Amino acid sequence: MQKMTRVVLAVLAVAGTTAAMAQSSVTLYGRVNTTVERQKLGDVSTTGMFNNSSRFGFKGTEDLGGGLKAGFQLESGFNSDTGTGSGWTHPTTGMSFARQSEVNLSGGFGMVRLGNFMPESYYATADYVSMHNHNTGSSSDAFYQDPVWFNGLSTTNKIGYRSPSFGGLTIDASVNLHEQTTGGKNGYDLAANYNLGALALGAGYSQVDDDKQLGLRALYTFGQFVVGGYYQRNDENVAGSRNNFRLAGAYNVGASEFHVNVGRANSWSNRADSAATQFTLGYNYNLSKRTKVYTYYTRVNNDANATYGYGFNGTLAAGQASGKDFSSFAVGVRHNF
């Protein structure tokens, strides 16, 4: 009987330890993504090593019982080419969680999020079809524009909600609090994702005051092929309105991925000759599930009054004047952990 008692106590101790471990967990994750490139802006060429949005982070959940969970995510950017720190909206020489810093509560009602996190309208449209390098570095989508970022609210001071899945449909909504005593405007973001097997649909809307954008996305997988694209409409007070679209395709065979995408931003209605075209050809080779080597060529052709260049969300290449074209040939390594 005494021996039986010891066995039962040991089993209960192990069971209690397992339950405690299941109730709370923390994960370290990240990505190191570095390229060597030959870039050209107008008539000026540069050869160098470049960081492609490398990052690391911590995320975790705690089971509070009754179907309720608490969670958090902290994410920091760093420059993989120099080892220095790099924030998201506020680059810094030290470590920063400017990329993401949120706490959330989730359950059968969905998820409530507080803090600093990316607009889900971006993930539902432009990012979803950026398959070859996760929309990072010099081959980023140069045309996608979000009014929340453009108006200085960035990804911070947000209250967000994510719905449960309704037959493959999920909804995300958030508000950026401006936190200014006078003159500030809140930012609003809304996204929807609907998965129908091989067909994935998405939509995103964001607005700050009279500056707004609407995007629609579709992606279809058949066999070894993936094809998709998105459309975006922008309206703002100064530049007027603009239409922007991107088409993307991938062919996956064995460890190889072949990628192509082309985007077009039409002229702003109040800014003549401000249209531009971007195309990218890429090849990725998967050394493992977490590590790729890759190469690509990307080019942005600007009309006389267009200033699109390196980076998405309308980011200008350093020192770029209107009408200058940008191109880059890159070879890189990307490792996820």
pLDDT at 188: 97
Looking at per-residue pLDDT, the higher value among 320 and 128 belongs to 128
Q: Which residues of 228-248 are buried (b: 16+ CB within 10 A; e: fewer)?
A: bbbebebbbeebeebebbbbb
Asked whether the predicted pLDDT for residue 17 surpasses 90, the reply is no
Asked whether the predicted pLDDT for residue 314 surpasses 50, the reply is no
Instruction: Kindly give, in sequence order, each residue whose CB lies less than 8 Å from that of residue 162, ignoring residues fewer than 6 positions away.
Output: 106, 110, 111, 113, 120, 170, 171, 172
Question: What does each C-alpha distance from 101 to 98, 116, 117 come to in angstroms?
Answer: 7, 5, 7
Per-residue confidence at 130, pLDDT binned at 50, 70, 90? very high
Asked whether the predicted pLDDT for residue 315 surpasses 80, the reply is no
Give tens-digit pLDDT for 274-296: 999 999 999 999 999 999 999 99
pLDDT at 2: 52
Min mean pLDDT across 14-28, 56-70, 316-330 is at 14-28
Task: Please state, for a pLDDT cut of 70, what percent of the chain lies above it.
Answer: 87
pLDDT at 322: 86
Cβ neighbours of 20 (radius 10 Å):
10
DSSP code, position 139: G
Give tens-digit pLDDT for 168-222: 999 999 999 999 888 889 999 999 999 999 999 999 999 999 999 999 999 999 9
Give tens-digit pLDDT for 136-174: 999 999 999 999 877 767 789 999 999 999 999 999 999
How far, in Å, CA of 186 to CA of 175, rounded? 7
Asked whether the predicted pLDDT for residue 249 surpasses 90, the reply is yes
Q: Taking a C-beta distance cutoff of 8 angstroms, is the pair 329, 158 a contact?
A: no
Per-residue confidence at 123, pLDDT binned at 50, 70, 90? very high
How far, in Å, CA of 125 to CA of 220, rounded? 14
